[in-house]
Amino acid sequence: MLSFWEKESFVEYDFVIIGGGIVGLSTAIELKTREPQANIVVVERGVFPSGASTKNAGFACFGSLTEVLSDLEKLSEQEVFDLVKRRWDGLQLLRNRLGDNTIDYQNYGGYELLQTDDQLTSLEKLDKVNALLMPLFDSEVYRSVPEKTEALGFSTDRVKGLVFNQFEAQIHTGKMMKALQRCTLSMGVDLLTGTGVEGLDEDQAGVGVRLANGILLKAGNVAICTNAFTTKLTHTDLKPGRGVVLVTQPISGLKLKGTFHYDEGYYYFRNYQDRIIFGGGRNMDLEGETTTDFGVPDKILSKLKNDLDHLILPGQPYEVEQVWSGIMAFGETKQPILKRQSERVFMGVRLGGMGVAIGSLLGKELAELITESVNN
């Protein structure tokens, strides 16, 4: 039973944002900037964000050479340029908002490992992709650097080509999310954690937001930012995709520095100080990994360890310290879903595997969509 005071101060909001990941928090910040007088709350079912934003590998990336080439097979040059630009713009927004020191932004560059003859043919199109992206970066993005293979400690039997991207960087995911939370709270947005939204009841007066603990919030408008978990709340076109990540203990004499990808981005690793953070393997069982269950399948973990042994750290002793998983959301296209779902319910979901890059921008666009719709 709620008190008079609780009803006065805690249950009525102009905007309820569901989901406290990078998109939910960015949406809250942007909405509060546009509507400083608005009463806004973010509802996060976890004690802290519990989807992808606190579980990822912390790549500040916008696409490897083979990913861009694969996109060019399905999309026009202009569409691919726009896709890369959105990721790049999103990263700049995140950096400007929180500061490079705060999020531990380190621009060591990124590398793509080419392992098959087919992958090596991508080098023939490197100049074409650089020319396409020149207006955005004002410089070449991708460069073939086979001479670095040995210096980085890779197996030369397996790595046949190496492409360097000078603009790729890494961040500390935990610091980024904590700073986003602090930024949100400092602006006067409320944050309710530890209880999820079970359902929405919309009528002409507003939206009833039913919480799992039985409390009913009243909202003028609602923003759904629940990414892979959205279908539990409302119909939408997305599929979850689980991603497994491991971190090693510190490795003495570690040669790797930067972010690294292979197999069209299905595998990714980076240094964090003198550790390796390594994730991927979803393509081993795409159907089985289409799940919102957090878990770590043995066969994926074995594959990651095998690649550490024979490809990434051949001959170097290491210990895996910890393993975890997070849940992403995918669809037919790489574009997120940004839309007005009904009169008072909006959504920004389906971030794919580069949500660190586009999350801030999607939050901005969602806040724009909401304020423009509400004020017209």
Ligand X SMILES: Cc1cc2nc3c(=O)[nH]c(=O)nc-3n(C[C@H](O)[C@H](O)[C@H](O)COP(=O)(O)OP(=O)(O)OC[C@H]3O[C@@H](n4cnc5c(N)ncnc54)[C@H](O)[C@@H]3O)c2cc1C
Point out which residues bind ligand X (CB under 6 A): 18-24, 43-46, 49-53, 55-59, 61, 196-197, 225-229, 233, 243, 245, 279, 326-328, 351-357, 359
Shortest Å distance, C-beta 327 to ligand X: 6
Shortest Å distance, C-beta 147 to ligand X: 27
Closest CA to 250 of 326, 301, 315, 316: 316
The residue length of the chain stands at 376
Going 86 to 355 to 273 to 104, the CA torsion angle's sign is positive
Shortest Å distance, C-beta 229 to ligand X: 4
Pick the closer one to ligand X by CB: 48 or 137. Answer: 48
Pick the closer one to ligand X by CB: 17 or 162. Answer: 17
Pick the closer one to ligand X by CB: 144 or 195. Answer: 195
3-class SS at 112?
strand
Pick the closer one to ligand X by CB: 144 or 193. Answer: 193
Cα separation, 199 vs 197, whole angstroms: 6
Vertex 242, ends 59 and 142: CA angle to 5°? 30
Pick the closer one to ligand X by CB: 161 or 353. Answer: 353
Shortest Å distance, C-beta 134 to ligand X: 23
Vertex 366, ends 217 and 325: CA angle to 5°? 80
Shortest Å distance, C-beta 253 to ligand X: 25
* b/e sequence 76-110, b meaning 16+ C-beta within 10 Å: eeeebbebbbbbbbbbebbbebbeeebbbbbeebb
3-class SS at 240?
strand
247 in Cβ contact with 301 (< 8 Å): no
Pick the closer one to ligand X by CB: 109 or 326. Answer: 326
How crowded is the C-beta side of 44, counted as CA atoms within 13 Å?
22
Shortest Å distance, C-beta 52 to ligand X: 4
